[in-house]
């Protein structure tokens, strides 16, 4: 929320400064303001303020984008890790139900893959466990 406030306030000040700078420059060009030290310094100050705000605003936007990309990467890694842990847990559960027979567990998972192609890996493990429980009843 803090970044959004900085962006909104920065945009407002940038717009206001741009309008003021445009007005002063147009008055100088049209001849309604005389060119002296005060108008030169004022115009230069407006240009510096405008440039600084423009830089800070886009720096802040870039930082927000980087933060969102990093958060998305962390979420993807977390999801992948959770999936791997779940898959491993389900395979271990299946192997335990088969009394430690790893080969039989892999065969049941492979049979589920053949019967139902295109499903996630953990689904095959769950299916093999369900089939095994159904056969044991």
10 close to 53: Cβ distance less than 8 angstroms: yes
Percentage of residues of the chain with pLDDT beyond 70:
93
Provide the pLDDT for residue 82: 63
The per-residue pLDDT for range 40-59, each reduced to its tens digit, is: 888 888 888 888 888 888 88
Buried/exposed 88-106: b ≥16 CB within 10 Å, e otherwise: eebbeebbebbeeeeebbe
Q: What is the pLDDT of residue 85?
A: 59
27 pLDDT higher than 70: yes
Does 86 have pLDDT greater than 60?
no
Give every CB contact of residue 120 below 8 A, 6+ residues apart in sequence.
83
Statement: residue 84 has pLDDT above 60: no
């Amino acid at each position: 929320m803090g970044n959004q406030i900085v962006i909104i306030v920065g945009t407002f000040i940038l717009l206001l400064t741009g309008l003021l700078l445009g007005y002063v420059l147009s008055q100088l060009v049209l001849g309604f303001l005389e060119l002296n030290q005060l108008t030169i310094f004022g115009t230069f100050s407006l240009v510096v303020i405008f440039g600084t705000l423009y830089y800070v605003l886009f720096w802040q936007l870039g930082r927000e984008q980087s933060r969102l990309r990093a958060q998305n990467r962390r979420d993807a890694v977390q999801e992948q890790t959770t999936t791997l842990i779940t898959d491993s847990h389900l395979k271990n559960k299946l192997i335990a139900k088969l009394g430690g027979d790893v080969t039989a567990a892999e065969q049941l998972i492979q049979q589920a893959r053949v019967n139902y192609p295109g499903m996630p890996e953990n689904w095959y493990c769950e299916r093999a466990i369900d089939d095994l429980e159904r056969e044991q009843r």
